[in-house]
Amino acid sequence: MTPTADLSILTLVTNASLVVKAVLAVLVLLSLTSWTVIFQKLFTISRAARQVEEFEGRFWSGTELNQLLEAAKRNHEHAGIEERLFAAGMSEYLKQSRQDPHALNGVSRAMRAVYNREMDHLERGLPMLASIGSTSPYIGLFGTVWGIMNAFTGLSTLDNVSLAVVAPGIAEALVATAIGLFAAIPAVAAYNYFNNRVGRLSNRLDGFSEEFLNILQRQQVRG
């Protein structure tokens, strides 16, 4: 590239070495994967939180537990996490003898199994965001180091070396770092945001489980 060459991003990418181009391709792929996961998790977690709000409204409205269970069974395919927890616990409770002092242990285990399965579904994809966020800058840095190394290697054959001669090669290399940061920053921000929302949702589900078990315990005492 000559000192007077076009230094636009497109030109720099086009004139980059094969290794740098491969690095850029990997980073673009990681960025696309990251944004795909971000939109999927935004929809999934928002939907889960909305369903929890809706079910808690019905649960604390005074509706009979048996009626809530029937509704949960009819709406099984579209039920939210909390409704599934309730259905699993209530179904197990009805199977157990109400005078059995260990009945609530079975209810707790049934709810915990559903909880673990549903939380695993909610957290799916978050480790990928964390991995993309942590590795993308280093991948970009590798491309930058390789590009600068090539730029300085090419200068060894020139008699007159100036900043104008070095700048295009270095600029080509630095594009890899910029793309690496472009891929990493949204992934890290999204991971922290979604991890926080999942954590708050998890605490809310734990609180509901404890309250529901207390309700069943009072019913058991009354007989």
In this structure, what DSSP letter does residue 61 have? T
- The percentage of residues in the chain with a pLDDT greater than 70, rounded to a whole number, is 83
Burial class of 156 by CB neighbour count within 10 A (0 to 12, 13 to 18, 19+): exposed
5 has pLDDT over 60: no
| b (16+ CB within 10 A) / e for 28-58 | eebbebbeebbeebeebbeebbebbeebbee
Neighbours of 194 (CB within 10 A): 21
Mean pLDDT of the chain, nearest integer: 85
Taking 80 as the threshold, does the pLDDT of residue 118 lie above it?
yes
Evaluate if residue 143 carries a pLDDT over 70.
yes
* pLDDT of res. 204: 94
Residues across the chain: 223
Per-residue confidence band for 3, with pLDDT thresholds at 50, 70 and 90: very low
Rounded Cα distance between 55 and 59, Å, is 6
64 or 164, higher pLDDT: 64
26-39 confidence digits (pLDDT tens): 999 999 999 999 99
Look at 81-95, 138-152, 162-176, 202-216 and tell me which has the smallest mean pLDDT: 162-176
In this prediction the pTM is 0.82
What CA–CA distance (Å, rounded) separates 81 from 22?
42
What is the pLDDT at residue 198?
95
Spatial separation of the C-alpha atoms in residues 217 and 202, rounded to whole Å: 23
Rg (CA), the chain: 28
Say what the pLDDT of residue 1 is.
Answer: 45
The Cα–Cα gap between 206 and 53 comes to: 14
Convert 8-58 into a string of H (helix), E (strand) and C (coil). Answer: CHHHHHHCCCHHHHHHHHHHHHHHHHHHHHHHHHHHHHHHHHHHHHHHHHH
